[in-house]
Amino acid sequence: MEFIEQIDPKEHDAFVSSHPLCNLLQSSAWAKVKDNWNHKIVGVKENNVLIASALVLIKPLPLSFTILYMPRGPILDYENLELVSFFFSQWKAFAKRHHAIYTVFDPAIHCNDYTLDEVNDERYETMDTILSYLKQNGAIFKGFTKHIDETIQPRFHANVVLNDDFEQGFTKSGRKSLSIAQKKKIEMRRYGIDGVEAFAHVMHATEERKQISLRDAAYFTNLMEAYGDNAFLCLAILPLQQLYEECKKKLNQVELDLENCPEHAKKKRFTLQEQMDSLTREVRVLSQNIEIHGKEVAVAGGLCVKFGSTAELLYAGMNDTFKRYMAPYLTFYTCMKWSFEQGCDSCNMGGIEGDLKGGLTKFKANFHPVINEYIGEFVVLHHRWMYKILMYLLERKKRGKHA
């Protein structure tokens, strides 16, 4: 076996995309997205055949130190002790040459897969061999964490798997919400770079609603350019002017019906009065939104990326002002359809909390996902005392933000 410090990106992508542990975050283009890090692609060859590969992100620190991170990597057979031992023995020398304080990696190994209506048996004992091999080679396991913010990448993901009629698996509530979005004449449009600003605006509305920090237009542009045709950006467009004109027409008709309705037909007059009040409110709201947004407005959006036979819905958001139109349901459905049309086996909707509770899990449950539980995060220490100092400083910084 031979450890190689610069694997050709095309060779790496071909290997990763056909591997059982295939993951978007190990594609060579991910380094272009994370352009605030340096990077390398390393690997192991046997008889000139690639048998292990890893995209390595390198974070420069003061005094020439670095942090190394292999997102969802390395890609190799973790049940092959000889290969695991060789890779990590060579890795330590690689880390030394790059003055690394520590390495973080979180391989795309599933320790459990189940749907939300199945019993989660937590079959962690199946990971014993892999955990043993990694421990023997100096990796410190962070444990089977539950909270989404305990690891760099979420350990629990909601993944919709391809089948002949996948939408039939949606919950009754999910199908109803999808139907509402379609009846409200929301149009899903695919965009290139020209849609990034509008998408960033939708994501900013999501940030304000959840009080979190996501990404800006420059980041989304970078992502779109890195993946080209394998990136799918869609926006849910609400036709405000069209809805206003249709609503106004209905209101005029109801007013006419009420005018011609006999006084003694109290039940009918009551129903018509209710309809008129409702339509009057709707016309007023639509008129106000037209003044603010124009004839149409992007109310939700999603950014999905294909790699190998997998697709990741990396970012999705909505403008809370228009939440009653249920646009996120149509957005997620559209991204899933695109993924499966591209030949993907699955469409990953992203991370959820490990207790399988909360609003995010409740929303994603509507699409009948398989919960992929990853093995978790590992650390390899190269400078123990420097690592302790760095963790102390980061913890102080974190406490300062929450003070």
pLDDT band for position 214 (50/70/90)? Answer: confident
In order, the DSSP letters of 202-252 are: HHHHHHHHHT-----HHHHHHHHHHHGGGEEEEEEEE-HHHHHHHHHHHHH
Per-residue pLDDT reduced to its tens digit, 382-399? 999 999 998 888 888 777
Mention every residue, 6+ apart, whose C-beta is less than 8 A from residue 178.
167, 170, 326, 329, 330, 333
Q: What average pLDDT score do residues 242-247 get?
A: 95
State both tokens at 316: 């999705």
- Residue 268 confidence (pLDDT): 92
Percent of the chain with pLDDT over 70: 97
CATH superfamily of 163-238+296-344: Gcn5-related N-acetyltransferase (GNAT) (3.40.630.30)
Q: What is the pLDDT of residue 119?
A: 66
Rounded average pLDDT over 9-22? 97
| Average of per-residue pLDDT values in the chain | 93
> Residue 334 — very low, low, confident or very high, per pLDDT cuts 50/70/90?
very high
Residue 161 neighbours by CB distance under 10 Å:
18
Residue, of 395 and 195, whose pLDDT is higher: 195
- Preceding omega of 262 cis (within 30 degrees of 0): no
Nearest alpha carbon to residue 86 among 74, 98, 103, 96: 74
Provide the pairing of β-strand 346-352 with 370-374.
unpaired
Nearest to 111 by CA among 74, 145, 76, 151: 145
Q: Give me the pLDDT at residue 211, please.
A: 64
Return the amino acid letter for 38: N
Question: From its phi and psi, is residue 47 left (phi > 0), alpha (psi between -120 and 50) or beta?
Answer: left
pLDDT, position 400: 65
Q: What is the pLDDT of residue 165?
A: 76
- What CATH number does domain 2-145+374-402 carry, 1.20.140.10, 3.40.50.2300, 3.40.630.30, 1.10.3110.10? 3.40.630.30
For range 123-130, the mean pLDDT = 86
User: Is a pLDDT exceeding 70 seen at residue 120?
Assistant: no
Which tokens belong to 166? Answer: 């996948």
Please state which of the ranges 88-102, 131-145, 199-213, 311-325 shows the lowest mean pLDDT. Answer: 199-213
pLDDT digits 0-9 by tens, 52-86: 999 999 999 999 999 999 999 999 999 999 999 99
pLDDT band (50, 70, 90) for residue 146: very high
Name the DSSP class of 125.
G
